[in-house]
Structures are given as structure tokens and as C-alpha cells.
Amino acid sequence: MSGDLIHRLARRAIVLGATVAVVGMAIGTVKVAADWRAADAPLDVAPVGLDTINAQLVSERDRTGALTDEIGSVAIQIADLQAALTAANGQVAGDAKSAESLEAALAAAQRKLKTLQGQLKAAQERLSALNRAAARQAARNQAATSSGGEDREDEEDEHDDD
């Protein structure tokens, strides 16, 4: 072997030894740091076990089932409310039509009432006129009775004028 080859192998052995030493020191440093950390901050609570995780999983599944049932119940209530709202809207529409027809009937009744009030007023005026005429006639008859028969002939003449 030549001196150059031995020199290269020695150099590689030194580099390899230095690398192993650096990695060993890094592992030792990490170990020392982990020990310091463990000494300064010990674990107070043990990690959660698999049984606990499984129990929580079952609990969450039960809760999910209960929530699903509640959502179904709420959906049924919403459907019932929508049906009631639809029925109420139909009732309102029917009531609006009834109100319109009642308004029309009221307007017709008011027109009829005005007509009847006009007819009543005219009839009252005619009755009043007839009562006045009857009172005048009674007064003439009274006057004719008290004055004798002469006035009766005048009354007969007046009746012929009416």
C-alpha cells in the first residue's frame, strides 16, 4: 500500500471517528436535557388510557344519537308549524274574501237604508201635510158648527175647490 492510500484511510478514519463523537455528544446532550426537563417538570397527570378514550367515544356516540333524535323532533315541530302557518294563511285569505263580500253587502244595505230614509221622510212630510189639512178641516167644521148652517154651504164650496 502506498503512503498516499494510508494517509487517505487515516484521514477518513479520523473524520468517521469525529462524526461518531459528535453524534454521541448530541445524543448525550439530548439525554441530559431530557433529564433536566423531567426533573424540573414532572408529569402530575398520567396520560389518558385506552379504556378512558373508548368510554368517551361511547359517550359521544350516545350524545350524537340523542342530538340526532332532538333534531328529528325539531324537524317534526317545524313541519307542524309550517302546516299550521299554511292553514292560517288560508283562513286569512278566506276571511279577507268574507270581509270583502260583507263590505259589499254593507254598502248595499246603506244605500237601501238611505232610500228608505228618504221614503220615510217623504211619507212623514205627506202625513204632516195630511194632519195639517185634517186640522184645518176640523177647524172649519168646528167653525161651521158653531156659526150655524151658512158656513156649511161655504165649506161645500171649498171642498169642491180642493
Q: How is residue 149 written as a grid cell?
A: 148652517
Give the chain's domain count.
Answer: 1
- The whole-angstrom separation of Cα 122 and Cα 116 is 10
Q: Find the radius of gyration of the CA atoms of the chain.
A: 61
In a domain, 5, yes or no: yes
In a domain, 148, yes or no: no
Contact 151, 144 (CB under 8 A): yes
- The whole-angstrom separation of Cα 162 and Cα 138 is 15
In a domain, 17, yes or no: yes
In a domain, 8, yes or no: yes
In this prediction, residue 80 carries a pLDDT of 95
DSSP at 43: -
Amino acid letter, 31? K
pLDDT per residue as tens, the chain (162 positions): 688 889 999 999 999 999 999 999 999 999 999 888 877 776 666 677 888 899 999 999 999 999 999 999 999 999 999 999 999 999 999 999 999 999 999 999 999 999 999 999 999 999 999 999 999 999 999 888 887 655 445 555 555 554
Neighbouring CB atoms inside 10 A of 43's CB total 7
In a domain, 14, yes or no: yes
- The whole-angstrom separation of Cα 160 and Cα 162 is 6
In a domain, 33, yes or no: yes
Dihedral angle, C-alpha 144, 149, 154, 158, nearest 10 °: 60
In a domain, 7, yes or no: yes
Q: How many helices (H) and strands (E) does the chain have?
A: 3, 0
In a domain, 23, yes or no: yes
Could you tell me the residue range of the domain that residue 22 belongs to?
1-40
